[in-house]
Amino acid sequence: MCKTLEQQKVDLASLYMSRKAESWHNGYILGRQNILWEDFVVDLGASFKDDLGSCVIEEFNKLKQTGTIDDYLEEFQELKSQMLIKNPTLPPDYFPASFVRGLDDNVKHFIRAFNPRTLSDAVYYARLQTATLQAIKTPDKPKPYIP
């Protein structure tokens, strides 16, 4: 967001560390130069074992639509944010595919035919198919016979 340069990310992150994390960082950087951000994130995670992160991944992969599209999308977006914190290098097509995978079967198969490339496209098609299914379920009211 702040357009931080790659070579400044480790130093910037260290400014927000305190207690155990600060002590870990001080020992970590001794004798090292040009620490890559990706290596730093992995080493930090390994040092402070992130059990919660594995729960997030499991919960994200098990996510299924049980209510409305909006309810599902809200839960999906929440878990997506946590997933990106856990693994910021996930490929762009990971989230649209995951979103479609968790949809109700009546909606999922329709959307797969369109092969959405973005999450926005997947949500659009999901809403479209849901509206179509709702219209099919709600028959037109019979018109009164007027002689």
The C-alpha atoms of residue 44 and residue 120 are separated, in whole angstroms, by 33
| Per-residue pLDDT at 46 | 80
C-alpha pair distances (Å), 33 with each of 10, 23, 30, 43: 11, 18, 9, 15
* CA 111 to mean position of chain CA atoms: 18
- Low-confidence stretches of the chain (pLDDT < 50) are none
Give the per-residue pLDDT at 119: 96
117 SS3 class: coil
State phi, psi for 138 to the nearest 5 degrees: -100, 95
Confirm whether 81 is domain-assigned: yes
At how many degrees (to 10) do helices 94-101 and 119-137 cross? 20
- What distance in Å separates the CA atoms of residue 19 and residue 25, rounded to the nearest whole number? 10
Say if residue 61 is in the same domain as residue 10. no
Q: What is the pTM of this model?
A: 0.60
User: In 10 A of CB 18, how many CB atoms?
Assistant: 8
Residues 61 and 110 in one domain: yes
Query: How confident is the model at residue 57, as a pLDDT?
Result: 85
Same domain, 10 and 58: no
- Domain membership of residue 142 (yes or no) is no
For residue 7, the model assigns a pLDDT of 85
Domain that holds residue 89: 51-137
Residue labelled with tokens 């209510």 = 67
